[in-house]
Amino acid sequence: MSAADLPRLALSVRQPSAWAIIHGGKDIENRSEGSVRAGRMTTGRICIHAAIGLKAAEYDYLVYRMAQNGVTTPPPDQLVRRAIIGTVEVVDFVTRSDSPWYGGKVGLLLQNPVPVAPIPCAGELGYFEWEQEGEIATPLPWMTRWGRADDDGRTGDLFDDLPLGFKSPPKRPF
């Protein structure tokens, strides 16, 4: 699918939530009532934009939460940022849901995700008309070190094939 064939509206979502919408079965994107109104959000097919921002504390918390839903999240240095990564259909706005992904005031109910080859572009708040420009973000230093036993740049570890574990749940950073 070429960039010209994609919907012109996009929603910017921070990683790893953007990845989970396209690849991990995340069927609800939580927003405040104000952001839904201010962002002129409606139903229909939109692009999912992976935002450039991502802090280690956010990533830790979301990895933990996704693991609770049976989803294994890629390491942070493998998540595309500052790019369109797929499309999804927004079919409704809900204020209650049994979905394990629901946790906000308003949930955008999502269906039929379709991944696309990453297309670099800057994001904005709310729905925005996107255009291809710039470069996909390069991983930040903490992203390449995340989960490693040391900082010497090794890519392998004795326990890489074990599921990620936390001694205690990470604090919710937002």
* DSSP letters for 70-121: T-PPPPGGGS--SEEEEEEEEEEEES----TT--SSEEEEEEEEEEEEEEE-
Distance of CA 48 to the CA centre of its chain: 8
Average pLDDT of the residues in 64-79: 92
pLDDT of residue 166: 66
Whether the pLDDT of residue 58 is over 70: the answer is yes
Integer Cα distance of 128 and 167 in angstroms: 40
Q: Where are the domains of the chain?
A: 3-145
CA 19 to chain centre: 4
In the structure encoding, which two tokens stand for residue 171, read together? 């604090």
Q: In terms of pLDDT, which residue wins out, 123 or 161?
A: 123
- Does residue 156 have a pLDDT over 70? no
Asked if residue 3 has pLDDT above 70, the reply is: yes
Q: Are 132 and 76 in contact (CB under 8 A)?
A: no
CA-based diameter of the chain, in Å?
49
According to the model, what pLDDT value does residue 167 have? 66
Residue 115's pLDDT is 97
> Is residue 153 over pLDDT 90?
no
User: pLDDT over 90 for what percent of the chain?
Assistant: 67
Three-state DSSP at 24 gives: coil
111-144: burial string, b at 16+ Cβ within 10 Å, e else: eebeebeebebebeebbbebeeeeeebebbeebe
Q: pLDDT at residue 158 above 60?
A: no
Q: How far apart are CA 23 and CA 20, in angstroms?
A: 5
CA nearest neighbour of 12 among 123, 132, 168, 172: 123
